[in-house]
Amino acid sequence: MTAALVVIDVQESFRRRANWVACSRPDIVGQVNRLVGAARSRGDLVVWVLHSEPDSGDVFDPARGFVRLIDGLQPAEGEPVLTKYVHNPFTTTRLQHLLTVHGVREITVCGIRTEQCCETTARLAADLGYEVSFVVDATATMPIEHPDAPPGRTMTEILADPRTLGTEEIIERTVYALSGRFATIRTVDEVTALVPVGADR
């Protein structure tokens, strides 16, 4: 085992936010499941990561019950499920230890959000010496308001604001930032095509 799929924050918390209606990939569960199936067929390590903000009172507060994988995702027996408290899973979990124990040198990153926890994980993994694949169409994000935007606006108002950064722009910027520097940009089709001939998909 020299490779791992790291699934970042594909959790119910995001679906409870108002901006989920503008999510770039509402079908992310299906995309992730394709990657998981391919990784398992190759014998790669699959690591699940959840984001938690205890005592925050928001959707990332575990007391509210939303810090769990979105329905349709199910870790297999023995697949680690880690809980992080910052943008990347290396800093506050045992991810690096797990990867070292399993001899992993190649990491495939997917999850939510594209430019936030997924991109941060890819950048840090590259700096730690891992070969990183960033599966762009198995990541999801939501529009980002301008820093000077007034608080409390509706999604209609946010989306109508020309200063709001749209999901396509966010994803494009992440691809530009990572490609050739921190990661190889791949698609789900490309990654799943790497399953050995004869493997059980």
Tell me which residue of 134, 113, 112, 114 sits closest to 122, measured CA to CA.
Answer: 134
- Long-range contacts, 167-172 (Cβ 8 Å, 24+): 167/22, 167/23, 167/24, 167/141, 167/142, 167/143, 168/24, 170/24, 170/114, 170/115, 170/141, 170/143, 170/144, 171/24, 171/114, 171/115, 171/136, 171/139, 171/141
Instruction: Determine whether 117 is an active site residue.
Output: yes
**Catalytic, out of 23, 110, 117, 118:** 117
Helix and strand numbers (H, E) in the chain are 8, 6
User: CA-to-CA distance for 142 and 160, rounded, in angstroms?
Assistant: 14
For the annotated catalytic residues, the residue numbers are 117
